[in-house]
Chain A
Amino acid sequence: MKSLAELQAIKDKMKDKVVLREGTGEIRVVVGMATCGIAAGARPVLNAFVEGVNKENLSDKVTVSQTGCIGICQYEPVVEVFEAGKEKVTYVKMNAEKAAQVIESHLKNGNVIEKYTIGANQ
C-alpha cells in the first residue's frame, strides 16, 4: 500500500466535511451487480455514476449503491433511480456514456431520459 501518512492527511482534510456530506440522500441510484449485471458491463456503469456524482458535487442529494439480480437479466446493465414522491425510473442496457447523460439530464436537472428506460425498450 501507498504510505498511510498520505491517508492520514486525507482524513484530516475530510474530518470537517463529513458531517455536511451525510446530506439528504433524496435520490438513490442503484446498480444491479449480480453475475448477469457484471457480465453485461455493470462495473464501468457503477463507476461512472460514483465518479460523476462526486465530480458534479451531487453527493449531498444522490447516493449510489449496488444490489443483486433485479430479475430482468436480458436488460442488464440495469440502473434504478428512486426519488422520494416520484415513481421509480428503470434504465436498461446501460453503459458509462449513458450513465454520464443520466447524471447530467436526470440527476442534475430532473429530466428523465425516456429512451433509455425499460418502457422504451420492450
Chain B
Amino acid sequence: MKELSLNILDIAGNSVKAGATKVGITITETDETLSLVFRDNGCGMTKEQVENVTDPFFTTRTTRNVGLGIPFLKLAAEQTGGSFSIESATKEENPGNHGTTTTAFFYKNNIDFTPLGDVISTVTTLIMGSPGIDWVFTHTYGEKETRIDTSEIRAVLGDDVPLDSYEVIEWIKSSLEEEYDSFYK
C-alpha cells in the first residue's frame, strides 16, 4: 500500500465484515513513533484464527484462499522496526465483551516507514460505506487531537437526514481538514 491510510481503510473493513456496531480507530503519534489501534465489537476470532491471521494463505473469504490485508499491515509495521499484535474474543468466549483489537506500532524515522497519507479520505470512505456503524476516529499528535464520533453526528441529524448524505460527508471532510490544518504546526 502506498499510504498507511489505505491500510487503515482495508483493515477497518474487517471490522465491518465481523458485524461490528462500534469501531474505534486511534492513531497516536509522537515525533518518533506512530501507533495505530483498531478496536471493534464484532464477532471476534477463535484462537486458531488469531494464530493464522497473519498468514497470507489463511482467509475466511470463500472467493479465493488468499487474504493479504493483515499481512500487509504487519509488514508495514515490522519493516520500520515496529511491531504488530492482535487480540480477539468470540461471542462464545466472552458474551459481554467480544470483538477484536488490532495494534500496529511504527518507527516514523525509519526509511521504510509508509507515510500516513490521506486519512480524511479514508474516514469519509468508511462512513459512506457503513453509515450504520458508530465510528470513533481519534488522532493525537502530542497535545493536538482530532476526533470524529459518528454517534454524536447522528444524534444531531436525528432521523431526518442520513449520515451518508453528501452534504454531511462534505461537512465531516471540511471539519477534519480544518483540524488537520494546524495539526503538525
Hey, which bits of chain A sit against chain B, CB under 8 A?
Answer: 1-2, 4, 6-8, 10-11, 13-15, 18, 21, 33-36, 38-39, 43-44, 46-47, 50, 54, 59, 65-66, 68-69, 71
- B141 close to chain A: CB less than 8 A: no
Task: Report how many A-B pairs have Cβ atoms within 8 Å.
Answer: 92
In chain A, what residue has the closest Cβ to B157?
A11
B130-185: which residues lie under 8 A (CB-CB) from chain A?
147-149, 152-153, 156-158, 160-162, 165-169, 171, 174-175, 178-179
User: A-contacting residues of B (Cβ < 8 Å)?
Assistant: 1, 6, 9-10, 13, 17, 61, 63-64, 67-69, 72, 118, 121-122, 124-125, 128-129, 147-149, 152-153, 156-158, 160-162, 165-169, 171, 174-175, 178-179
Question: Given the interface contacts A47-B121, A50-B166, does A69 sit within 8 Å of B64 by beta carbon?
Answer: yes
Asked if A35 and B68 sit within 8 Å, CB to CB, the answer is yes
CB-based contact A43/B122 at 8 Å: yes
The 4 closest A-B pairs by CB, nearest first: A2-B175, A54-B166, A66-B129, A35-B69
- Set of chain B residues within 8 Å of A6, measured between Cβ atoms: 171
Instruction: A50 to B169: give the CA distance in the assembly, Å.
Output: 10
Q: Can you list 23 A-B contacts with CB-CB less than 8 angstroms, sorted by A residue number?
A: A1-B152, A1-B153, A1-B175, A7-B156, A10-B171, A11-B157, A13-B167, A14-B161, A15-B160, A18-B165, A33-B9, A33-B13, A35-B69, A35-B72, A38-B9, A39-B6, A44-B121, A46-B128, A59-B166, A66-B128, A68-B17, A68-B61, A71-B64
A8 touches B148 (CB 8 A): no
Residues of A within 8 A of B118 (CB): 43
Query: For residue B158, which residues in chain A have a CB less than 8 angstroms away from its CB?
Result: 11
Which residues of chain A come closer than 8 Å to B153, judged between CB atoms?
A: 1, 4, 7
Query: Contacts A7-B171, A50-B128, A71-B64; is A18 near B6 (CB within 8 Å)?
Result: no
Least Cβ–Cβ distance between B71 and chain A, in angstroms: 10
| Complex interface: chain B residues within 8 A of A43 (CB) | 6, 9, 118, 121-122, 125
Nearest-neighbour CB distance to chain B for A80, whole angstroms, equals: 15
Whether A7 lies near B64 (C-beta < 8 A) is: no
Prevailing SS type, chain A contact patch = helix
A1-B147, A14-B161 given; name 7 further pairs at CB < 8 Å. A10-B168, A11-B156, A14-B160, A38-B9, A66-B128, A68-B17, A69-B61
Query: What residues of chain A lie closer than 8 Å to B168, measured between beta carbons?
Result: 7, 10
Given contacts A6-B171, A35-B68, A43-B122, contact A11 B9 (CB under 8 A): no
B64–A46 CB distance below 8 A: no
> Shortest beta-carbon distance, A57 to chain B, in Å?
11
A76 CB to closest chain B CB (Å) equals: 12
Q: How close is A45's CB to chain B, nearest CB, in angstroms? A: 11
